[in-house]
Amino acid sequence: MAEAKAPYNPLLVLSYGTIIALWVGCQYVLIPYVANLMLLVTAILYAGCHWSLSLREEQAAARGETPGGEDGGDGDDDAHGPPAEVLRKEDAMLFPIIGSCSLFGLYLAFKFFDKETVNLVISFYFCAMGSFAIAGVLGPVLEGAGPAALGRRIGWHRTVNHPLPESVGGKSPWKIGFDCSHADLVAFAGGVAFCVRYFYTKKWFLNNVLGICFCLKGIEQFSLGSYKIGAILLVGLFFYDIFWVFGTEVMVTVAKSLDGPIKILFPRTLDPDPETGRLEMSLLGLGDIVIPGFFLGLLLRFDAHIAGVPCFPTDVNVAFPKPYFHSTLAGYVVGLAT
């Protein structure tokens, strides 16, 4: 069985503090690039992977398990919420191909269309998604630390019949609606305000907030399904990177042309260039954080399974041995440093 629960996980709290301290500190103090990158990425991965423990609860509910440990039987599926999204082997094999098509499509867009127009369209998309990502990160914080009124929940649910074939529209009726707390609404309003400011200013430190939120929510909500599927995905993306980064100019061109939170920026100096007025920056793509994060999250959930940590309720602060997670995270950090 799992070890005794602690009121909080000190390393998880340290990860939160590290993310905030580095984001604030690097705006005023020149932090060595390698130290900044390694500390920030490690903190993001540690926090995001622990948030992904919630997938164990969703997947257990999808199997029909209940908090009481009994089989849920053939009752209403909605009693346990929707099944967690799990990557299949076929999806893992297609991922590099789909990624290649998307990347090359962006390359052609920047090559044959006005760069400013392309970036404008993409900025609208990222700001819309960023509002939800910020709300997803900030909402639980407000609900846990704010007044009790922020924890009250509101919802709206309807069923809509449709005439479409099941292969096109899925099963009828459609079940639509939402369920959220007052804290989620406040966080979403704050996210919209933040993204509006980012849209008009494009400050690098605002970019980093969106990038960090995308990483945390992506790792939290995505499951590879199995070690084999994760290995297939990583091998495919290994060759994807070799071809598009070292074999062509496509990846570099898109990375330099795309003005959006697809990367985290690290200042090399705090003195703007006298000619351009810009800071010298280094960058790390979000894919270099999120894709390994999917795999690390899978290993952490495997550690929890081996340790006998119950699926209900999810507790990101529960103490249990994490040999696979810690060893793989250490290997990733060493690889990042080299």
Amino acid present at 182: H
Taking the mean position of all CA atoms in its chain, how far away is CA 257?
23
Residue 70 confidence (pLDDT): 47
Between 58 and 333, name the one with better pLDDT.
333
How many other C-beta atoms lie within 10 A of the C-beta of residue 119?
18
**Residue in the structure block whose two tokens are 């939800």:** 132
Q: Indicate the pTM of the whole model.
A: 0.86
Are 228 and 59 within 8 A, CB to CB? Answer: no
The mean pLDDT of the chain is 85
Work out the pLDDT band at 68, boundaries 50, 70, 90.
low
The pLDDT tens digits for 131-146 are: 999 999 998 888 878 8
- SS3 per residue for the chain: CCCCCCCCCHHHHHHHHHHHHHHHHCCCCCCCHHHHHHHHHHHHHHHHHHHCCHHHHHHHHHCCECCCCCECCCCCHHHHCCCCCECCHHHHHHHHHHHHHHHHHHHHHHHHCCHHHHHHHHHHHHHHHHHHHHHHHHHHHHHHHCCHHHHCEEEEEEEECCCCCHHHHCCCCEEEEEEEEHHHHHHHHHHHHHHHHHHHHCCHHHHHHHHHHHHHHHHHHCECCCHHHHHHHHHHHHHHHHHHHHHCCHHHHHHHHCCCCCEEEEECCCCCCCCCCCCCEEEEECHHHHHHHHHHHHHHHHHHHHCCCCCCCCCCCCCCCCHHHHHHHHHHHHHHHC
Tens of pLDDT, residue by residue over 190-211, are 999 999 999 999 899 999 999 9
Across 52-59, average pLDDT: 85
Question: Tell me: the pLDDT tens digits for 3-48?
Answer: 444 568 889 899 999 999 999 999 999 999 889 999 999 999 999 9
Residue 2 in this model has a pLDDT that exceeds 50: no
Share of the chain above pLDDT 90, in %: 41
- pLDDT surpassing 70 at residue 59: yes
Q: How confident is the model at residue 84 (pLDDT cuts 50, 70, 90)?
A: low
Mean pLDDT over 266-289 rounds to: 86
Model confidence over 294-311: pLDDT tens digits?
A: 999 999 999 999 998 888
Q: Is the pLDDT of residue 73 over 80?
A: no
pLDDT score at 85: 63
Catalogue the active-site residues. 241, 288
End-to-end CA, the chain:
38
pLDDT tens digits along 149-203 = 888 888 888 888 877 777 667 777 888 887 888 988 999 999 999 999 999 998 9
**Picking from 82-91, 126-135, 180-189, which range would have the lowest pLDDT averaged per residue?**
82-91
Q: Give residue 89's pLDDT band: very low, low, confident or very high (50, 70, 90).
A: confident
Ramachandran region, residue 188 (left: φ > 0; alpha: ψ -120 to 50; beta: rest): alpha
